[in-house]
C-alpha cells in the first residue's frame, strides 16, 4: 500500500492546522494527551503484541516489554512537559546603564511545527509509530506524520489508529498523528513544505538519502537520523585475566540479543593478543541460538556482510552458534594493524548476530586501530582498577555518545540523562534520540524584546516564571 500525493497533502494540511493547538496548549493539557496515548497502548497490548509477533517474530515476552518501554517514554515526556526546564526559559531585565543599553529580553523554546518520523524495523513499538521520536515531537508541541516501516505494516496501521483515537478523545485536535506508507510517500513526506523537521532510525544508505532530500529542499529542514554504529569494546589484559569467562559469556549474550539486530550491538571487540579470549568466546557461542531476521532485506544482507568481512585476508571465522532457522551467530577475528589499515572494510556495520574480535599486541597498536573506528553510539571499556585507560577513554570520548565501564551496550535506559547518539555515521546531529533531551530536536528558540506582558507566551510571564525553572539575569532559579 502506498499513500498517494493527495492523501499526503491532506495529512499535512491537518497536521499544520493542529500545530498551533499543540504549540499553545498548556503543560497540563499536553501532558494529559501524552498519558492518554500511553494508556490506550496499554489497554490494547494483547491485540498489538499479537500483530507484532506475526509480523516481526520477535516473541511475546520481548514485545510486551517493548510496549512497556514505549508507554513509559510517553509518560516520562509528560512529566518533563509539566516540569518545564526543557523550555530553557531565560530573562534579561532591561538595563539602561549597560554599555550598550540593554533591552528586556525573554527567551523560550517553541515547537517547530509538523514533524516527520520514520519508523525502524528492529523496535516495532519503541522506535516506530508511537516510539521515542513521536513522543518527543508531541511533547515539544508538534503534530507528527509517521512513515510506516514495511516490516510491520499492519502493526503500524493499528498502532496509529489506537493512538490517534486516544489523542482526539482526550481533546487533542484532528491531525495530531498521521501515517503514510511506501518509499515514494516517505521521500515526499520529508520534502513536503509543511513538514518542519524529521526523525529517522535505519540504515546509513536510507538515512543519507533522506538527509540529502531534507537538506536539498528550497527551505532545508533539520533531519535527525540514527544510522550506523559498530559500538567498539576494549578489554584489557587485566580484565581478561580476572574474569575472562564472564566477559566471553557477556559478549555472546549481547551480540546475539534480538538476533543481533540492536543498534547498540558490540560489533568490534579489541582484545589482547594470545590471551585466550577467542577460545573462551568460541566455547560460549557454541550453544548460542540464532533466529529469523526481521525482514527479507536484512536476511539477504547478513550473509553478504559476513562474506564482505571474510574476504579480507586478515579475517577468519573462529566459531558459529547452533544451526537452526534463520541467522546463525558468527564470531570472526582479525588484528589491529589490519583494522588501522583497512577500516572501510573491517569496520563496516553488519546487522545481525556477528561480532569481530580484534587482537592488539601493544597500547600503540590498540590506539591506532581505535582512532580508525567511525562514530558510534557507544564505546565500552572492561578494565581493572590498576589499569591506565586514560588514553583509550580519550579516544572513545571523541568517537561515541555513551561510554560504558561495565556491562554491555545492548540496553538503553530511557531517562533524563541518557544520550543515544554520536558522531557520523551514528547520527546526523549532536542530539539524542532517547531520553528527555530528545525533545530538544523539535524545538526552536524565540526571543521577545520589550514585549508587553499580555503579549508574551504564558510561560514567559512573571507569574508563570515564579513556578518554573528559569535563568534571570544570569542566575539560575529553581522554584
pLDDT in tens, 249-264: 999 999 999 999 999 9
Number of Cβ atoms within 10 Å of the Cβ of 83: 15
Given pLDDT bands bounded at 50, 70 and 90, which one contains residue 323? confident
CB of 290 within 8 A of CB of 254?
A: no
pTM: 0.95
Enter the DSSP assignment of 135: H
Instruction: Report the alpha-carbon distance of residue 24 to residue 68 in Å, rounded.
Output: 29
Assign 3-state DSSP to the chain and report helix, strand, coil percentages, each to 5.
45, 20, 35
Give the tens place of pLDDT for each residue, 179-199. Answer: 999 999 999 999 999 999 999
pLDDT value for 1: 79
Q: Where does CATH 3.40.605.10 sit in the chain?
A: 5-227+427-477
Which amino acids are annotated catalytic?
A: 226, 263
Contacts made by residues 272-275, CB under 8 angstroms, sequence distance 24+ = 272/235, 272/236, 272/237, 272/240, 272/359, 272/360, 272/361, 273/335, 273/359, 273/360, 273/361, 274/359, 275/237, 275/240, 275/241, 275/244
CA 417 to chain centre: 14
Instruction: Report the alpha-carbon distance of residue 19 to residue 143 in Å, rounded.
Output: 6
Instruction: Report the alpha-carbon distance of residue 331 to residue 252 in Å, rounded.
Output: 9
Number of Cβ atoms within 10 Å of the Cβ of 371: 12
DSSP 186-218: HHHHHH-TT--EEEEES-HHHHHHHHHHHHTSS
**In terms of DSSP H, where are the helices of 44-175?**
45-56, 60-83, 132-139, 153-169
Q: Are strands 268-272 and 316-320 parallel, antiparallel or unpaired?
A: unpaired
- DSSP H or E run through 361: none
pLDDT value for 81: 98
Q: What is the pLDDT averaged over residues 139-159?
A: 97
Q: Number of C-alpha atoms within 13 angstroms, CB side, residue 114?
A: 27
| Nearest C-alpha neighbor of 262 from the set 68, 66, 115 | 66
Q: Where does CATH 3.40.309.10 sit in the chain?
A: 232-404
Tell me: domain 232-404, CATH 3.40.50.300, correct?
no
Given pLDDT bands bounded at 50, 70 and 90, which one contains residue 324? low
Sign of the alpha-carbon torsion through 202, 205, 207, 209: negative
The overall average pLDDT reported for the chain is 96
Give the tens place of pLDDT for each residue, 256-296. Answer: 999 999 999 999 999 999 999 999 999 999 989 888 888 88
- DSSP H or E run through 364: helix 363-371
Q: What is the pLDDT averaged over residues 423-439?
A: 96
Number of Cβ atoms within 10 Å of the Cβ of 222: 19
Fold of 5-227+427-477: Aldehyde Dehydrogenase; Chain A, domain 1 (3.40.605)
Please give the span between the terminal C-alpha atoms of the chain, in angstroms, as a whole number.
52
Amino acid at each position: 500500500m502506498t499513500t498517494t500525493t493527495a492523501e499526503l497533502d491532506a495529512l499535512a494540511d491537518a497536521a499544520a492546522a493542529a500545530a498551533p493547538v499543540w504549540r499553545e496548549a498548556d503543560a497540563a493539557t499536553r501532558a494529559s494527551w501524552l498519558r492518554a496515548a500511553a494508556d490506550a497502548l496499554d489497554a490494547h497490548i494483547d491485540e498489538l503484541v499479537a500483530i507484532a509477533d506475526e509480523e516481526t517474530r520477535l516473541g511475546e515476552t520481548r514485545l510486551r516489554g517493548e510496549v512497556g518501554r514505549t508507554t513509559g517514554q510517553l509518560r516520562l515526556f509528560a512529566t518533563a512537559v509539566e516540569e518545564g526546564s526543557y523550555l530553557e526559559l531565560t530573562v534579561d531585565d532591561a538595563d539602561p546603564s549597560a554599555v550598550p543599553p540593554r533591552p528586556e529580553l525573554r527567551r523560550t523554546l517553541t515547537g517547530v511545527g509538523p514533524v516527520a518520523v520514520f519508523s525502524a524495523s528492529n523496535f516495532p513499538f519503541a522506535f516506530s509509530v508511537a516510539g521515542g521520536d513521536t513522543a518527543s515531537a508531541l511533547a515539544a508541541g508538534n503534530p507528527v506524520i509517521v512513515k510506516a516501516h514495511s516490516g510491520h505494516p499492519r502493526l503500524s496501521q493499528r498502532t496509529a489508529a489506537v493512538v490517534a483515537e486516544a489523542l482526539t478523545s482526550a481533546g487533542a485536535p484532528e491531525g495530531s498523528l498521521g501515517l503514510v506508507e511506501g518509499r515514494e510517500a516517505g521521500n515526499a513526506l520529508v520534502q513536503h513544505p509543511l513538514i518542519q523537521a524529521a526523525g529517522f532510525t535505519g540504515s546509513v544508505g536510507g538515512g543519507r538519502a533522506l538527509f540529502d532530500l531534507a537538506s536539498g529542499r528550497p527551505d532545508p529542514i533539520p533531519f535527525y537520523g540514527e544510522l550506523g554504529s559498530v559500538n567498539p569494546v576494549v578489554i584489557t589484559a587485566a580484565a581478561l585475566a580476572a574474569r575472562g569467562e564472564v566477559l566471553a559469556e557477556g559478549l555472546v549474550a549481547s551480540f546475539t540479543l534480538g538476533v543481533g539486530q540492536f543498534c547498540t550491538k558490540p560489533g568490534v571487540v579489541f582484545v589482547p593478543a594470545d590471551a585466550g579470549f577467542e577460545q573462551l568466546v568460541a566455547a560460549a557461542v557454541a550453544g548460542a541460538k540464532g533466529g529469523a531476521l526481521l525482514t527479507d532485506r536484512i536476511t539477504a544482507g547478513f550473509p553478504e556482510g559476513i562474506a564482505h568481512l571474510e574476504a579480507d585476508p586478515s579475517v577468519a571465522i573462529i566459531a558459529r552458534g547452533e544451526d537452526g532457522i534463520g541467522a546463525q551467530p558468527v564470531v570472526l577475528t582479525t588484528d589491529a594493524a589490519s583494522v588501522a589499515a583497512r577500516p572501510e572494510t573491517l569496520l563496516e556495520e553488519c546487522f545481525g548476530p556477528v561480532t569481530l574480535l580484534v587482537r592488539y599486541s601493544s597500547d600503540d597498536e590498540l590506539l591506532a586501530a581505535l582512532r580508525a573506528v567511525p562514530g558510534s553510539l557507544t564505546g565500552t571499556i572492561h578494565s581493572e582498577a590498576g589499569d591506565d585507560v586514560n588514553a583509550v577513554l580519550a579516544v572513545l570520548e571523541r568517537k561515541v555518545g555513551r561510554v560504558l565501564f561495565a556491562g554491555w551496550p545492548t540496553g538503553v535506559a530511557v531517562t533524563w540523562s541518557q544520550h543515544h547518539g554520536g558522531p557520523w555515521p551514528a547520527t546526523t546531529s549532536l542530539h539524542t534520540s532517547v531520553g528527555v533531551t530528545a525533545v530538544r530536536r523539535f524545538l526552536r528558540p524565540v526571543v521577545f524584546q520589550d514585549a508587553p506582558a499580555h503579549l508574551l507566551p504564558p510561560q514567559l510571564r512573571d507569574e508563570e516564571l515564579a513556578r518554573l525553572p528559569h535563568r534571570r539575569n544570569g542566575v539560575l532559579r529553581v522554584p
